[in-house]
Amino acid sequence: MSTRPPELFPLFAGLETLPGVGEKTARAFAQIGVEKPRDLIFTLPHSGIDRRLRRSIREVVLPATVTVEVEIGGHVAARRKGGPARVMVRDVATEFQLVFFHAKGDWLEKQLPSGQRRVISGRVEIFDGVAQMAHPDHILRPEEARGLPDFEPVYALAAGLTQRGVARAVQGALTRLPVVAEWADAALVAREGWPGWAEAAARAHAPQNMADLAPTAPARARLAYDELFAHQLTLALARSQLRRAKGRISKGDGALRARTLAALPFAPTAAQARAMAEIAADMAGPMRMNRLLQGDVGSGKTLVAFMALLVAVEAGGQGVMMAPTEILARQHFDSLAPLARAAGVRLELLTGRDKGAERAAKLADLAAGRIALLVGTHAVFQREVEFADLRLAVVDEQHRFGVAQRMELGAKGRAADMLVMTATPIPRSLSLAQYGDMDISLLDEKPPGRKPVKTALISTARLDEVVAHLRRALAEGRQAYWVCPLVEDSETVDLASAEERFRALRVVFGEGVVGLVHGQLPAAEKDAAMADFVAGRTRLLVATTVIEVGVNVPNASIMVIERAETFGLAQLHQLRGRVGRGAADSTCLMLYQAPLTGPGGRRLQILRETEDGFRIAEEDLAMRGAGDVLGTAQSGLPRFRVADLERQAGLMAVAQSDARALLSADPGLESPRGRAARLLLWLMEQDRAIRLISVG
């Protein structure tokens, strides 16, 4: 099935083919991403208005939208140009006013002839002690009023759209629903009491009360599930394609791993041990591993990744670890080096800065298999680096890859197992959406003995106290970071503020004590600045957010963040994670510009309350919504039209296990349910998935 099924054509036709939609309206719809009748089906009302006929406006608590039958009294013309015209009306219990601005000619007299009865509906407010309804939404003759629904859906609008226009277009689209076979698991549908797809669509657009608009209402839950199921089916198809691709069996005797563990002053946590076992089992299997190692800062991912690399070496092959930046590659190298020494394997670092003969020699050693483990940047790996026998690639991802890019990487068909590391805790529903094609190992436990980081919120007005505190701490031999504000997301402005702060602090603490690192520094200077700080030659490091990810200096125990209220939650959490890595008590001083209000203030409160990355991530999701949490454009996370990842989180997990189960029972989607699922993929425009089944 590589062309769209004909029964879907009416839903994929132009919007103008719908009654009441002309070219202009179609353009207005395009602003909200609605380009065809199909899109209208999945653009659900976000709220609703109770239009039940009341006897009197006295029956409801004002202000509120009310529908009542009234007898029309006198008209009072606008007293001045632009002023309101009024029409007195009376229901069974009370008198009130209808108010109109800019009413033209005799429109009012025609609509509301004195002495007649009309059913009117609109928002009634008390103004100067008088009940008023300005510009009623509906003015109907009593005999027409039966056509008014008790509950009216409310849609998001854009310029050029009206509620009535949207509702009419939606009704038109709803007449085009094809008869479809059930693609969802029958037991699930029965258990949840869900209607079939077409009925769910019709019901979701015709809510009868507020409860029907809740994310848990059966019709809405069903449509959300369908959307998530289609997404998970795509991921599951990608996953099964990757797994079908020939993998390598990498089984080690455990000797190198045992030697390494014996050299460590600590034992792995239960979470680390579990992750190590999951990875080793994947690598020993014939299918290609595609696994995510997710763990908060400090959860000990490095050791787990290293153990995985050793499996590759024990099996007679090689492993590579890739980082997004040079600084991080260097850090990974530095933290892996002692482990590699303990294991007795050769580990090398390859970055864009390796040049000439040295680089050539490294490449030759790699190609000959004389280097067991390599650390480098993604860029280095993507260029021509030949391995003798690459068995595992560890990718330190930090959200730089989306699903689509991973699918491409996988399609290139290197047989090596893949382990992706991410330090950014994200809520489960989001990680399923973003990493649903992967298997996940979660480090949900921190190594014992870590002390909490003391977090204080301090007004910038007290900058002097902060400097005094730093002076004492540095005198005691401690080290500190000073992160400069993000100004309007502009690299140049950030830079200016960091350099300014650097100069000011250098005057206070003296030459040679303060270092500076930012993204615009030439690579060699950046390295030198980092190296000076790591070696303790500089004691205070002024930085932009380049130090956010991965940097590890255990002796650094103070983190100062200037204008902390302008940073995002996840970023602040990452920055704070840079301290609390050594034996000393650590502090994070979050400087803010008073007054501390709004979302910025709320973020800092959350950070003061907890260090739990997953809790912080949940709060972040609640405050910002799914798209923003992952930084939509680069995240590869699809925008869901119906599903609400925050409020319908549970559905994602169900969708994932259903999708995997369906594919394992019916890999080619050939069964009746499989065929129905193909139609769903078409309906949900999952082109990538459709391409995968067409070739598969």
Handedness of CA 659, 665, 668, 673 (dihedral sign): negative
> Rounded to 5 degrees, what are φ and ψ at 48?
-150, 160
Tokens 């957010």 -> residue: 545
- Distance, in Å, from the CA atom of 657 to the CA atom of 280, rounded to the nearest integer, reads 23
Distance of CA 417 to the CA centre of its chain: 26
Site for ligand ADP in 568-607 (CB under 6 A): 581
| 578, interface contact from ligand ADP, Mg ion, none, CB < 5-8 Å by kind | none
Nearer to Mg ion by Cβ, of 241 and 302: the residue is 302
d(CA 476, CA 512) in angstroms, rounded, equals 17
AA letter at 484? C
Q: How far is the CB of 15 from ligand ADP (least distance, A)?
A: 50
Instruction: At 577, list the tokens.
Output: 């994670």
> What does residue 53 show for φ and ψ, rounded to 5 degrees?
-70, 125
65 vs 552, beta carbon nearer ligand ADP? 552
Compute the distance between CA of residue 315 and CA of residue 584 in angstroms, rounded to an integer: 40
**325 backbone φψ class: left, alpha, beta (φ>0; ψ -120 to 50):** beta
- The answer to whether the CB of 388 falls within 8 A of the CB of 318 is yes
Which one, 41 or 556, has the nearer CB to ligand ADP? 556
Nearer CB in complex with ligand ADP: 362/581? 581
Pairwise CA distance, residues 136 & 138, whole Å: 5
252 binds, among Mg ion, ligand ADP, none (CB under 5 to 8 A by kind): none
Beta bridge partners of 246: 287
- Residue 101's binding partner among ligand ADP, Mg ion, none (Cβ under 5 to 8 angstroms by kind) is none
Residue 295 or 317 having the CB closest to ligand ADP: 295
Determine which residue in the list 269, 318, 479, 571 makes contact with ligand ADP, applying CB under 6 A: 269
Closer of 400 and 462 to Mg ion (Cβ): 400
* Distance from C-alpha of 653 to C-alpha of 659, rounded to nearest angstrom: 10
Shortest distance in whole angstroms from residue 400 CB to ligand ADP: 17
In the complex, least distance from residue 299 CB atom to ligand ADP, rounded to whole angstroms: 4
Q: Which residue has the tokens 């206070």?
A: 508
| Dist CA 158 CA 453 (whole Å) | 47
319 binds ligand ADP (CB under 6 A): no
Q: Smallest distance, Å, CB 554 to Mg ion? A: 12
Q: Which residues contact 131 (CB under 8 A, 6 or more apart)?
A: 57, 62, 94, 96, 97, 124, 125
Residue span 282-301 as binding mask against ligand ADP, x where in contact by CB under 6 A, dash where not:
-------------x-xxxxx
C-beta of 577: minimal distance to ligand ADP in Å? 7
Give the count of alpha carbons within 13 A of 461, CB side only.
5
Residue selected from 350, 423, 560, 564 as contacting ligand ADP according to rule CB under 6 A: 423
Among 9, 101, 127, 266, contact with ligand ADP (rule: CB under 6 A): 266
Q: How far is the CB of 573 from ligand ADP (least distance, A)?
A: 12
d(CA 220, CA 41): 12
Among the listed residues 63, 73, 165, 268, the single contact to ligand ADP using CB under 6 A: 268
User: Which phi and psi (to 5°) does residue 636 adopt?
Assistant: 80, 0
Structure tokens at 317: 């092959």
Among residues 326 and 494, whose Cβ is nearest to Mg ion? 326
Beta carbon of residue 549, minimum distance to Mg ion (angstroms, whole number): 9
Say if residue 596 is exposed, middle or buried (CB neighbours under 10 Å; 0-12, 13-18, 19+). Answer: middle
With CB under 6 A, what is the number of residues at the site for ligand ADP? 16
Distance of closest approach, residue 450 Cβ to ligand ADP, in angstroms: 8
Residue 303 binds which entry of Mg ion, ligand ADP, none, CB below 5-8 Å type-dependent = ligand ADP
Q: Tell whether residue 398 is a contact of ligand ADP (CB under 6 A).
A: no
C-beta of 436 vs 577, nearer to ligand ADP: 577
Site string for ligand ADP, 551-570 (x = CB under 6 A): -x------------------
| Nearest CB to Mg ion, comparing residues 121 and 302 | 302
Residues 640 and 218 sit within 8 Å (Cβ to Cβ): no
Does 272 sit near ligand ADP (CB under 6 A)? Answer: yes
* 300 touches, from Mg ion, ligand ADP, none (C-beta below 5 to 8 Å by class): ligand ADP
Nearer to Mg ion, 302 or 574 (CB): 302
In the list ligand ADP, Mg ion, none, the entry touching 49 (Cβ below 5 to 8 angstroms by class) is none
Please state the closest distance from residue 409 (CB atom) to ligand ADP, in A: 22
Q: Kindly state the smallest distance separating residue 532's Cβ from ligand ADP, in Å.
A: 21
Site string for ligand ADP, 443-472 (x = CB under 6 A): ----x-------------------------
Nearer CB in complex with ligand ADP: 424/538: 424
Q: Whose Cβ is closer to Mg ion: residue 304's or residue 606's?
A: 304
The single-letter DSSP state of residue 444 is -
Give the three-class secondary structure for 483: strand
**One of 124, 238, 303, 433 touching ligand ADP (CB under 6 A):** 303
The answer to whether the CB of 136 falls within 8 A of the CB of 121 is yes
Q: Pick the closest to residue 2 from 675, 690, 696 (CA basis).
A: 690
Q: Which of residues 496-555 bind ligand ADP (CB under 6 A)?
A: 552
Residue ranges in contact with Mg ion by CB under 5 A: 302
- In the complex with ligand ADP, which residue's Cβ is closer, 239 or 446? 446
Contacts of 450 (CB under 8 A, 6+ apart): 298, 580
Residue with tokens 């303990």: 342
Instruction: Please state, in angstroms and rounded to a whole number, the distance separating the CA atoms of residues 210 and 511.
Output: 66
234 near ligand ADP, judged by CB under 6 A: no
How big is the CA angle at 117 (ends 116 and 122), to the nearest 5 degrees? 125
| Choice from 302, 377, 424, 635 touching ligand ADP (CB under 6 A) | 302
> How large is the C-alpha radius of gyration of the chain?
32
Placement of tokens 């590699």 in the chain: 340
Q: Could you give the CA distance from residue 523 to residue 222 in angstroms, rounded to a whole number?
A: 53
Shortest CB 271 distance to ligand ADP, Å? 9
Question: Which of the listed partners (ligand ADP, Mg ion, none) does 133 bind, with a CB threshold of 5 to 8 Å by partner kind?
Answer: none
Other residues' Cβ atoms within 10 Å of the Cβ of residue 331: 22
Q: Which spans of this chain sit near ligand ADP (rule: CB under 6 A)?
A: 266, 268-269, 272, 295, 297-303, 423, 447, 552, 581
